[in-house]
Amino acid sequence: MSIINNINKVFDHRIRLGIMSILMVNEYADFNMLKELLEVTDGNLASHAKALETAEYIKVEKQFIGRKPNTRYSTTKLGELEFKKHIDALEKLINKH
Amino acid sequence: MESKDYLKDISEIKNLMNKSSRFISLSGLSGIMAGVYALIGAAIAYYLVMNFSYGTLILDGQIFRWVLVDLILVATLSIITGIILTTKKAKKHGSKIWDATSKRLVFNFLIPLVVGGLYILIILNQQKYGQAGALMLIFYGLALINASKYSIGDIRYLGFAEIILGLTAALLPGYGFWLWVLGFGILHIIYGTWMHFKYDVN
């Protein structure tokens, strides 16, 4: 199997990679925290988060804090595994050059 | 994609992981100031005990109460200075002072510190005050090591040093005061200076 096989198409975008990096080291992050750290617009973040959710790499929980709706994101076991594979593949690719 | 782009990806991943999970705006200068306050506080305590208490400290005496006030003053001043200088630094970096990372840092720092503080109060109440200085150093060291996971990693080395001094103080109760001065005064100044030049300048 070539190294390229482990480069994951789902992660092949700066914002998705960013969402995963933050969620890997935090138990969870809410929408605003991701937005501030990644410096993206609402729509942009929502659509990339949706893509990761569809792939079942992240979990989304909607809840209320007081009266304000709050969306919380966390990684799934599958997401963590795939992200690690992706990073390893990137590393190998860089080292080859 | 070129490997250069991948390299950029990796460095951004690292940056985001750090920024989102660690509070990195701690000011080195506030460490130096905490050390200076501790040295001044220790000098005052030394003066009080030597001149008014015949070199020994009686637990329910007047001088003991003044030494406690002195201690609380040093701690309060250090905390206030730390908050002010760290807020300044965070503003310069455009990051928030009271966010998820700093809350986590403070919470994890306080766990060993509060446990240790209560424990010391309990044994002081039982008249066992010989080990108080050593225990302060040990629990403070544990608090630093616990906090280091949520901030600049170098803090753990200061923590280890404080624990070693604390254990030494436990072995040599007669030198407790001087090891305390070394741990809370000199070590803070050395550590703060080191952090200041490593992270704050440039």
- Look at residues B51, B49, B52, B189 and name the one whose alpha carbon lies nearest to residue B133: B49
The answer to whether position B12 is within a domain reads: no
B60 pLDDT above the threshold of 60? yes
Among chain B residues, CA nearest to A30: B100
- The two structure tokens encoding residue B106: 């403070």
Sequence-separated (6 or more) residues with CB below 8 Å from residue B31:
B188, B189, B191, B192, B193, B195, B196
Type of residue at A47: S
Q: Which helix (H) or strand (E) holds A68?
A: strand A68-75
- Predicted confidence at residue B172, as pLDDT, reads 92
What are the start-end ranges of the H helices in A26-69? 31-38, 42-54
Residues from chain B contacting residue A91 (CB–CB below 8 Å):
10
Residues from chain B contacting residue A17 (CB–CB below 8 Å):
9, 12-13
**Percentage of the residues of chain A whose pLDDT score is greater than 90:** 57
pLDDT tens for residues B133-147?
A: 899 999 999 999 999
The answer to whether position B122 is within a domain reads: yes
The answer to whether position B18 is within a domain reads: no
C-alpha B3/C-alpha B9 separation (Å) is: 10
The answer to whether position B201 is within a domain reads: no
- B13-34 mean pLDDT: 90
Residues from chain B contacting residue A18 (CB–CB below 8 Å):
12-13, 16
Say whether residue B17 is in contact with chain A using an 8 A CB cutoff.
yes
Residues from chain A contacting residue B102 (CB–CB below 8 Å):
none
**Percentage of the residues of chain B whose pLDDT score is greater than 70:** 94
List all residues of chain B from 96 to 155 with a beta carbon under 8 Å from chain A.
99-100
The answer to whether position B99 is within a domain reads: yes
Among chain A residues, CA nearest to B101: A26
pLDDT tens for residues A72-83?
A: 999 999 999 999
The answer to whether position B13 is within a domain reads: no
Angle at A83 between CA A3 and CA A23, to 5 degrees: 160
The answer to whether position B81 is within a domain reads: yes
B1 pLDDT above the threshold of 60? no
C-alpha B46/C-alpha B39 separation (Å) is: 10
Give per-residue burial for A31-41: e unless 16+ CB within 10 Å, then b.
bebbbebbebe
- Look at residues B199, B202, B176, B163 and name the one whose alpha carbon lies nearest to residue B31: B199
Sheet order of strands, A29-30 included: A29-30, A68-75, A58-65
Of B7, B12, B21, the CB nearest to A26: B21
- B141-160 mean pLDDT: 93
Range of the domain at B104: 28-196
Cα within 13 Å of Cα(A20), Cβ side: 32
The answer to whether position B11 is within a domain reads: no
Of A18, A87, A93, the CB nearest to B16: A18
Q: Where do we find the tokens 């050593």?
A: B134
Helix, strand or coil for residue A63? strand
- This complex has an ipTM of 0.81
Chain B interface, best mutation among A90, A92, A95, A96, by max B CB count within 10 A:
A90
pLDDT tens for residues B166-192?
A: 999 999 988 888 999 999 999 999 999
Number of domains in chain B: 1
- Predicted confidence at residue B108, as pLDDT, reads 95
Task: Give chain A's mean pLDDT.
Answer: 88
- Contact: A87, B6; criterion CB under 8 Å: no
Of B3, B9, B16, the CB nearest to A37: B16
**Percentage of the residues of chain B whose pLDDT score is greater than 90:** 54
